[in-house]
Structure 1
Amino acid sequence: MPEVERSPAKAKHTTGIKPLPDKGSSVATARTQTKPLQSKIVTKPVKPGPVNKRIKLSWTWPTKGKVVQTFSKSDQNRKGIRIQGHMGQPVRAAEAGKVVYAGGGLVGYGNLVIIKHDQEFLSAYGYNRKLLVKEGDKLAKGDIVAHMGSPNRGGQPMLHFEVRKQGKPINPLPLLPRK
């Protein structure tokens, strides 16, 4: 029978071992064994889980009353808004979050509550007569955090309300629903 030549693309390797050079050859090479590449692609279904999703915040007014001072980018004394009310009036969380500060240690704010809502937003509630939360408390939107006080003794009761985005004060009025 005549011998049939096969093209290298169609030839089958059965042993996977390279032949040794002739004994008379001056070049010695090491014997190597090669295996055909096997690639297995295993896919697993993706389970929905805690992905760092950005949820849309839906702000609400922290208290009832007339806005007596608005935000100003250029005036350092107007980093938020001031809402006039009456002494002891409830002050509520404008959005759900975690209390990261509750105390009277920041000059110019009186008794202050700061709530962290997500990685970007904080809200601050100043001039309170009495704080009802402590650091670490988790709050739902609308939870009462304090009772309104005044910026100075005998002054008109009001709430100082700030929203900060990535640490910088922003105008809270566009975030709040229309009255």
Structure 2
Amino acid sequence: MPVKFLALEFILLLMTGCFSSQQEVIIVEKSINLQNISQQKLTNNSSNTKKRKEKTTKKINKKTNRWSIPVKGNISKTFSTKNKHLGLTFDTKIGQNVRAIRDGEVVYVGNKMKSHGKMIIIRHPFGFYSSYTQNKDLIVENGDTVTKGQIIAITNKIPFYFEMKKFKQPINPIKYLK
């Protein structure tokens, strides 16, 4: 009998807790159709917004991440490993502006290699290097930080020569320049 009495007291205690004014009742809507409709709208709206943002970002990055041509002029000799011409030769006139193809740091300025004349080498992100040779005047110095399109030198009467490397390996600049 005492067990039945304890069980009855326990049930009454639980029931009084349900009817007390301190308890809150929360109603959860579990209608499958309404829930799915609102979730689909939210998902579609957020995914469309994300896609639009990604497309816009990609377009901007494509425009800003391109490498630019270092100097105006026709290319008279192209990259060729067979002919050991590891860069591009531009037909230029004396006094043309030479511009940095991309942001970077100047790691060499000088004329120690007589065959290249006055020369500039810029280190770019991700192991890229660009070298600008046969210049009349050099505007930048070792250690300078340059931005894409910044004037770094002035061309000489000798055709301008340009090379690119990925780490120490020569690469064809045409693949990167716009």
> TM-score of the superposition, structure 2-length normalised?
0.62
Q: What is the distance in 2 between the residues matched to 1:141 and 1:86?
A: 22
Aligned to 1:40: none
1:74 Cα deviation after fit: 2.1
Structure 2 counterpart of 1:117: 124
Matches within 5 A, 1:14-25: none
What CA distance in whole angstroms lies between the structure 2 residues aligned with 1:167 and 1:118?
14
Residue 115 of structure 1 deviates from its aligned partner by 0.2
Alignment gaps of 5+ in structure 2: 1-60
Partner amino acid, structure 1, of 2:139: L
**Aligned residue in 2 for 1:140:** 147
Shift, 1:149, TM fit? 0.9
Partner of 1:162: 163
Question: Which residue type is aligned with residue 80 of structure 1?
Answer: G
| 1:107 to 2:111 alignment | no
Match of 1:90 among 97, 103, 107: 97
* TM-superposed deviation, 1:108: 1.5
CA-CA distance at 1:159 after TM superposition: 1.2
For residues 123 and 66 of structure 2, what CA distance do their matches in structure 1 show?
Answer: 14
Regions of 4+ moved over 3 Å:
none
- Shift of residue 119 of structure 1? 3.8
Question: Which protein is richer in helix relative to its size?
Answer: 2
Query: 2:91 aligned with 1:58, yes or no?
Result: no
Letter in 1 for 2:70: P
TM-score when scaled to structure 1? 0.61
Matched AA of 1:114:
I
Matched position secondary structure for 2:175? helix
Shift of residue 87 of structure 1? 0.2
**Aligned partners of 1:74 and 1:117: how far apart in 2?**
27
Work out the CA distance in 2 between the residues paired with 1:83 and 1:95. Answer: 18
Q: CA RMSD in A?
A: 1.6
Classify the secondary structure of the residue corresponding to 1:164.
strand
Q: Which amino acid aligns with 2:83?
A: D
Please state whether the residue corresponding to 2:94 is helix, strand or coil. coil
- Number of matched residues? 116
Please point out which of 60, 72, 75 is paired with 1:67.
Answer: 75
